[in-house]
Amino acid sequence: MNNKSIILLSGGLDSLVSLGVCKTEYNVELALTFDYGQKAANSEISTSKKICDYYNIKHKVIQLDWLKEITHTALVSDKELPEGIENPIESAKAVWVPNRNGLFLNIAGSFADSENYTHIILGANKEEGETFPDNTQEFADRVNAAFEYSTLNKPKVLVPLINYDKNDIVNLALKNNLPLELVKSCYNGGEKHCGVCESCTRLKNALKNNGDTHYIKILF
């Protein structure tokens, strides 16, 4: 069977780079972006749309109003978003969305089962895997095992960045000339990157560590 894939796209660094490195080999044809009331929802949707236009793939936005109602953390509420990267465990709790990746992958699994997609690509990475258990290879393996039972076509979850930290991911993007100018990695969802939230801090540091000045100027 020829590859035909779905990407879970938020418009952030990890999903953009996952798409960039898998686009050709895995024939990515569809991107799903989820709106669960996160502060950055509108910006994630418009950023993802631009990325889909760039790569010429279909884009679908999935509304999850009920998830907004049952999520009480800073990503969707008025609570302060974590700044800096000093307290990864606290930050992880502050931005936790109940069963987010499990849910997203299962929704993508329905699309895959219905329209014969062979792979679902998730931008999980090594750093996040240390604090978020649903950002690990083990988790992907277990979802794959469940798809053996819950779908007819048995799509596979791919986590191409699972052994990479932010520095490696930025390095991969620079090496492959991926369109980093399109990326939007801020939790706050403003016009520009805020430059101080945890996600911005990680991106900025990784660009600096790779000796980049070009994208730092464009993005921050």
Which residues are near Zn ion by CB under 5 A? Answer: 186, 188, 194, 197, 200
The secondary structure of 60-111, three-state, reads EEEECHHHHHHCCCCCCCCCCCCECCCCHHHHHHHCCCCCHHHHHHHHHHHH
Nearer to Zn ion, 19 or 200 (CB): 200
Angle at 98 between CA 202 and CA 190, to 5 degrees: 45
Q: Least Å distance between CB 135 and Zn ion?
A: 19
Locus of tokens 């749309």: 49
Helix, strand, coil in percent for the chain, rounding step 5: 50, 10, 40
CB closer to Zn ion, 170 vs 186: 186
Structure tokens at 47: 């950023």
Gap between the Cα atoms of 196 and 86, Å rounded: 12
Q: How far is the CB of 90 from Zn ion (least distance, A)?
A: 17
* Tokens 């931008």, located at residue: 123
Q: How far is the CB of 200 from Zn ion (least distance, A)?
A: 3
Kindly tell me which of 84 and 133 has the beta carbon lying closer to Zn ion: 84
Of 27 and 73, which has the nearer Cβ to Zn ion?
A: 73
- Name which of 7 and 186 has its Cβ closer to Zn ion: 186
